[in-house]
Structure 1
Amino acid sequence: MNFCKHVLILGCGRSGTSIFGELFQHLPEYTYYSEPPFAEVVELNTTQPIALKVPRESEGFLPDEGLSFPLAMLTRKLPSLQVFWQVRHPLDTICSLKVGISRNWGHHPRPPDWQQWLNRPLIEQCAYHWNYINTLGFAQVTDCSVITRFEDMIADPRAFAQSIGQQIQLDISQNEMFLQQWAKRVQNKNNAQFDEATTSRPYSTQDHTVKVGRWQENLSKEEIGQVLPIIQETAQRFNYDLTHLS
């Protein structure tokens, strides 16, 4: 069997990076690390495939703008690295970001000027965070990443997983039991099968019935009008057309 690629999952918080990352907990070929400090990443044994979700800032490692770590240092350590950039509809993400952003801007990496936004409405803070990550952060990996979508993962988790397997040179169907365990967790509505990703649970709310399109339950027309000038251009780059809401 060919050596599977190492995996790096990036994207704005509350975009599905956690449940995506936990796919690798179900694959025996991989060791999975969720948000490890970058200082620990550089010390990892990489003789076997590893999967990383959004490494955290560490003192002594100057991060690239929009990221929480220096990408070049990571790619030197992991020359066989597949980067995935996870995106989710910006309005849905904004709704989901509110809990963490309200806690002293608890999502990382923080924009360098985040404190200047603290006197703005929370909804605008969340929009600014989404836009910062998906502009300056994404710019760092545009040429070396595959864009993955929350909506595709929710719509057909098995097909999503199979596509990931092709990218990392692993036949995920050979791990059918593990694949089924993960796919059952990926639900658009909370139900008996739904099991939220571990790191997402502190930010979860019960103010919506669906995950795809939750903004229609959670955002007023006024709030949408507040955030559109912040996110609309970036949303269009990821093929989320918000022009009908203007």
Structure 2
Amino acid sequence: MVANKHVLILGCGRSGTSIFGELFQHLPSYSYFSEPPLVEVLEQDSPQPIAVKVPRESEGFPPDEGLSFPLSVLIEKLPSLQIFWQVRHPLDTICSLKVGIARNWGHHPRPLDWQQWLDRPLIEQCAHHWDYINTVGFSQVSSCSVVTRFEDMLADALRFAHSVSQQIHLDISSNQKYLQQWANRVQNKNNEQFDEATTSRAYSTQDHSVKVGRWQENMSKEEMERVLPIIQQTAQQFGYDLPLIS
């Protein structure tokens, strides 16, 4: 029997990394850590595989640019590691990033030039953050990661969970009830089944009715004209179509 892999979930904030990570809270065969300091991960001696969402900076471990940690150190600790890079449509992500970016650029890792953007409109700061993470950050792991999409997760959460399970050698049949429990939480609209990821709740707003395509409710034409030049190339690389401004 092939052992289950360790898991690392990365991506831009507000792209679904939190709810994706909490999939592993439902699995008894995994220990899950959400945004722990890197040193906490390095000190783990768990007898079972671990899943980590976006490790945070730790003193003495200079991060790779675009990440909050040195990738080689983590791979040395967890040699059997499956990396997932979670991505979400940039316009939806930008709308969702506004709360955190407005709080002294509270999403990490910050772009190296983040302070130079502070006199720009908030919507442009959010666009720059999305683009930086999905270019500079993604470049650090592009050759060794699987790209997962927020939209696929919400369209069919159980299918998404099954696909992830295959990547990490998790037996689906014996874990089906746990995968289903998680899938029931993942909803495009808030309803009685929806249970938001714990670490996302401080950034939530009630100004939209859907999560996929929320930009159509939240973003003005003027704001779109500001952000499209910043995100266009990277959006295309991830297969996202952007609206035309007329």
- For normalisation by structure 1, the TM-score amounts to 0.98
Q: Report the secondary structure of 2:162's partner residue.
A: helix
How far the C-alpha of 1:173 sits from its partner, in A, is 3.3
Deviation at 1:245?
4.1
Gaps in structure 2 of 5+ consecutive residues: none
Query: Secondary structure at 1:103's aligned position in 2?
Result: coil
Residues 229 and 47 from structure 1, CA distance in 2 versus in 1: closer, same or farther, beyond 3 angstroms?
same
Q: Which amino acid is 2:22 matched to?
A: E
List gaps (5 residues or longer) in structure 1: none
* Maintained 8 Å contact 1:46/1:78: no
Residue in 2 that maps onto 1:225: 225
| Distance in 2 separating the partners of 1:234 and 1:245 | 18
Q: Is it true that 1:91 corresponds to 2:99 in the alignment?
A: no
Residues 1-246 of structure 1 aligned to structure 2 (within 5 Å): 1-242=1-242, 244-245=244-245
Q: Deviations over 1:149-170 (max 9, x none)?
A: 0000000000000000000001
SS in 1 for 2:142: helix
Q: Distance in 2 between matches of 1:23 and 1:197?
A: 10
- Give the CA deviation at 1:172: 2.8
* Separation in structure 2 between the aligned mates of residue 84 and residue 245 of structure 1, nearest angstrom: 33
Rounded Cα–Cα distance in structure 1 between residues aligned with 2:57 and 2:142:
21
Deviation readout 1:84-139 (Å, 9 max, x if unpaired)? 00000000000000000000111010111111111110000000000000000000
1:244 shift after superposition: 2.9
Q: C-alpha displacement at 1:34, in angstroms?
A: 0.2
Is 48-57 or 165-174 further displaced after alignment?
165-174
Cα deviation, 1:40-90, whole Å, max 9, x if unaligned, reads 111111542000000001111100000000000100111100000000000
Cα separation, 2, equivalents of 1:57 and 1:226: 31
Give me the whole-angstrom Cα distance separating, in 1, the residues matched to 2:221 and 2:158. Answer: 35
The percentage of aligned residue pairs carrying the same residue is: 77
Letter in 2 for 1:107: H
Opposite residue 174 of structure 2, the aligned amino acid is Q
**TM-fit CA distance, 1:243:** 5.7
Q: Which residue identity lines up with residue 105 of structure 1 in the other structure?
A: W
Distance between the aligned counterparts of 1:58 and 1:205, measured in 2? 31
User: In structure 1, what is the Cα distance between the partners aligned to 2:241 and 2:81?
Assistant: 31
| Aligned equivalents of 1:193, 1:245: Cα separation in 2 | 37
Secondary structure of the residue aligned to 2:13 is coil
Report the residue type matching 2:135 in the other structure.
T
Distance 2:4 2:123 in 1: 41
The letter of the residue matching 1:11 is: G
**Aligned partners of 1:72 and 1:30: how far apart in 2?**
22
How many residues end up aligned between the 2 structures?
Answer: 246
Q: What is the CA–CA distance in structure 1 between the aligned matches of 2:163 and 2:174, rounded to whole Å?
A: 14
| Cα shift readout 1:6-47 (whole Å, capped 9, x = no counterpart) | 000000000000000000000111000000001111111154
Moved over 4 A (4+): none
CA RMSD of superposed structures (Å):
1.0
